[in-house]
Amino acid sequence: MSRFQRYDGGDPLAPPVDLAGALDAIGQDVMAGYSPEHAMREFLRRGSNDQAGLDELQRQLAQRRRDILQRNNLDGTMQEVRELLDKAVLAERGQLARDITMSDEDRDFREMVLDSAWPQGGSPSTAAAVSELASYDWQSSEAREAYEEIKDLLGRELLDQRLAGMKQALEGATEEDRAAVAEMLADLNDLLEKHAAGEDTDEAFAAFMDKHGDFFPDNPQDMDELLDSLAQRAAAAQRMLNSMTEEQRRELMELSQQAFGSPQLMEQLARMDANLQALRPGEDWSGSESFEGEQGMGLGDGTGALADLAQLDQLSDQISQSYQGARLDDVDLDALAGQLGPEAAVAAKTLQELERALRDSGYLKRGSDGELRLSPKAMRQLGKALLRDVADRMSGRSGARETRTTGLAGEPSGASRRWAFGDTEPWDVSRTITNAVLRGGASPVRIQVDDIEVVETEARTQAAVALLVDTSFSMAMDGRWVPMKRTALALHQLVRSRFRGDDLQLIAFGRHAQVMEVEELTGLDARWDKGTNLHHGLLLANRFFRKHPNAQPVLLIVTDGEPTAHLEPDGEVWFSYPPHPLTIAHSVRELDAAARLGAQVTFFRLGEDPGLARFIDSMARRVDGRMVSPELDDLGAAVVGSYLGSRGPGTSYREHFGDVYGGGRGFWV
């Protein structure tokens, strides 16, 4: 059965979230020593080449905040009132000059009142001028209309502070409209006070909304939604007042008494603010902002800007993910789209899906201690990605080319057999065609699965592979820590996926050596203890080889320093720098023991130290081994290539990396 749901933004044809890319990036940080939880957070913050991360969204939020503060100021209403006063006084002066019926004494008196309240070229108090002219008998109808517009503007602005959109909704309002506003405010305050006393009911809320619902276009569904909406707006209005200068606040409070020509409006608004502050004390009623721009905002717009700033701060907190139990599902996508646009919301939604997929897909697993760890599934996926990178590097290395003996697992024995599912040996073409002809005739020849025969090959020798990786101080200090881990994980993935008959042991050697599982080595923190105990590492490798007497020993050693530590007979570590002859002797003795066990030895020298190069070259020659000096980026390819070389000739990259390239264990035509 198909399921349909509402489209929620983004490109409907976009590919699903890139889990593989995310896991690879997280794996790099884990191998560098970060916890999986920290690594996941860092990836979500950084994002990727085609995906904005949390840091980019945080930057956009900060830029939006700066734009609001640097573009605007809070003097818009006062400026509009001053312009209306200028208009009213100018029109009145013109009327007085034109009115020939007026006595000189009356004209002079009126001129004196206008000069006293609003002198030309002076800096009078706007609030005082509005108050002083409240009782003035305007002779000009144009002047009277301009002055009445001031009172209307103040009323609409004060309401717009508490109920967004009221400035526009009440433009040109009649006395009946104003009476409806007054009734609504009185009923609202009664409802708020009943709620504070626990006396309100759902029926009371419903009755209020039936009567006054037109004043609340956001259509709150219950008392809590109504309270939240009103308190957030009222708190923003208070923060706007806090952000004004002392002179601006005083002027505004005096002007407010002239709103709609009646002080009752301010009384009801003050009552409402007190009720809301008591019911929602957790809102920010004391904050302030510093506006520095030139674009004046009215009271309603200014309150909206303060509300926007509060929402931006809330979104910033959500995106910072710095609080206990933070999840990206906490981010309000609708608010983010409103502030930054739909592209930002789509980016955040993708990050939410990535976080959810990483947690729910089984890649991250919480241990008994409560800490997140990379799961075995994640290790396999990461190993595949690293092995794919190794395969790409090997196929592009100088002198390396893919052969056409695909599927060959050993030397041909001269016989053939029926193909069975899972066989990777090449076809015996002549026998296959002969079978098809005998079954169906010579023309045309149609090959069926039952006709196919493959070339039998000699059984491949089982290998016991010991990978010794240097975990000394210098490996971490010189940036070789992560490439070493990548190499170990790639080789582990290759052996587990393509050479299951082989045994691999990972041995880390620093001041002392120890056998490690790949998960333990991958999550190993950098060790700052000095010491390169190759002797101990070779002891463990030889013990491993002796446990597999029928397997071909393969010894791979990755190091960037000469041996500076060895084990004493009592098990204590003996350290000396520069290397002591006794330490060298112990290391050489165990290397000779590996050679006597038949080990194929390859040293991978990291760094350009000439003394190290001479020492490792002499060690390799002593046991008829090899020394390879790869670049760090090629270390994995060098180690894997050496291992594949130990498997004998006659095999191709396509066989070894078939799963990596998506070929599986099928056959090639």
- Tell me the domain boundaries of the chain: 19-71+311-374, 75-290, 412-457, 463-656
Full 3-state SS string of 568-583: CCCCCEEECCCCCHHH
At residue 668, the pLDDT reads: 26
Give the pLDDT confidence of 417-436 residue by residue, as tens digits: 888 766 667 888 888 888 88
Mean residue pLDDT of the chain comes to 84
Nearest to 67 by CA among 372, 320, 248, 308: 308
**pLDDT > 90? residue 106:** yes
**pLDDT > 80? residue 516:** yes
CA separation for the pair 374, 365 (Å, rounded): 6
Q: Which residue has the higher pLDDT, 384 or 349?
A: 349
At residue 15, the pLDDT reads: 46
At residue 465, the pLDDT reads: 94
DSSP code string of 78-136: HHHHHHHHHHHHHHHHHHHHH-TTS-HHHHHHHHHHHHHHS-TTS---HHHHHHHGGG-
At residue 167, the pLDDT reads: 84
**pLDDT > 50? residue 654:** no
Q: Which residue has the higher pLDDT, 321 or 96?
A: 96
**pLDDT > 60? residue 460:** no
Q: Which residue has the higher pLDDT, 201 or 420?
A: 201
CA separation for the pair 31, 26 (Å, rounded): 9
**pLDDT > 90? residue 4:** no
Give the pLDDT confidence of 588-642 residue by residue, as tens digits: 999 999 999 999 999 999 988 888 999 999 999 999 999 999 888 888 888 888 8
**pLDDT > 50? residue 652:** no
**pLDDT > 90? residue 226:** yes
At residue 13, the pLDDT reads: 37
**pLDDT > 60? residue 1:** no
Q: Which two tokens stand for residue 610?
A: 């000439």
User: What band does 307 get if pLDDT is binned at 50, 70 and 90?
Assistant: very high
Contact 255, 81 (CB under 8 A): yes
Lowest mean pLDDT among 183-187, 213-217, 296-300, 361-365: 361-365
At residue 67, the pLDDT reads: 95
At residue 409, the pLDDT reads: 42
Nearest to 491 by CA among 465, 512, 513, 470: 465
**pLDDT > 90? residue 647:** no
CATH code given to domain 463-656: 3.40.50.410
User: What band does 406 get if pLDDT is binned at 50, 70 and 90?
Assistant: very low
Q: Which two tokens stand for residue 169?
A: 């909704």
CB neighbour burial string for 103-127, b if at least 16 within 10 angstroms, e if fewer: eeeeeeebeebbeebbeeeeeebbb
Residue ranges with strand state E in 283-411? 295-296, 364-366, 372-374
At residue 271, the pLDDT reads: 93
Give the pLDDT confidence of 74-91 residue by residue, as tens digits: 999 989 999 999 999 999
| Torsion angle in degrees (nearest 10) through CA of 211, 216, 222, 225 | -160
What is this structure's pTM? 0.65
Tell me whether strands 552-559 and 513-516 are parallel, antiparallel or unpaired: unpaired
